[in-house]
């Protein structure tokens, strides 16, 4: 294997991924629970707000993970978002099973990919922020 090519999960900085996942989970869950407290009807614009809030959480988590890593920021951002998504959805699935609600496995797959993609974008933004910070530090 070429020195530049490394396995996807090799040499990951798990503290960066954990920090990003925690931020993503806190932001996403806070917005979603806030909207759920209002108990919106189907088709309500508040449901869109919950989705955008969750995506903002994944984006922010990706930024945090990327900013805290030294290598492969996009990978760290995507994995942070994926970790947050899996944990939050696992709790949600258990709750739905207990209450007897239906599960839509296709929507879990779709929103999981959307979460990872948003975290990936956050990873790129975090890389930009880190480079700017490094440039500013070098000037001073």
**CA–CA gap between residue 8 and residue 113 (Å, rounded):** 17
**CA–CA gap between residue 37 and residue 66 (Å, rounded):** 32
**CA–CA gap between residue 64 and residue 50 (Å, rounded):** 21
Q: Whole-model pTM?
A: 0.86
- Segment 62-110, tens digit of pLDDT: 999 999 998 899 999 999 999 999 999 998 899 889 999 899 999 999 9
Look at residue 49 and tell me whether its pLDDT is greater than 60.
yes
């Amino acid at each position: 294997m070429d020195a530049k090519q490394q396995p996807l999960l090799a040499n990951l900085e798990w503290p960066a991924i954990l920090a990003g996942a925690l931020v993503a989970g806190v932001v996403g869950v806070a917005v979603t629970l806030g909207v759920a407290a209002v108990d919106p009807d189907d088709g309500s614009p508040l449901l869109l707000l919950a989705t955008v809030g969750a995506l903002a959480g994944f984006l922010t988590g990706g930024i945090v993970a990327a900013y805290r890593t030294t290598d492969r920021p996009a990978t760290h951002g995507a994995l942070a978002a994926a970790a947050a998504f899996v944990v939050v959805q696992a709790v949600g699935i258990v709750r739905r099973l207990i209450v007897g609600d239906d599960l839509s496995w296709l929507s879990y797959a779709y929103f999981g990919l959307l979460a990872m993609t948003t975290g990936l974008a956050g990873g790129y933004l975090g890389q930009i922020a880190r480079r700017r910070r490094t440039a500013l530090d070098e000037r001073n």
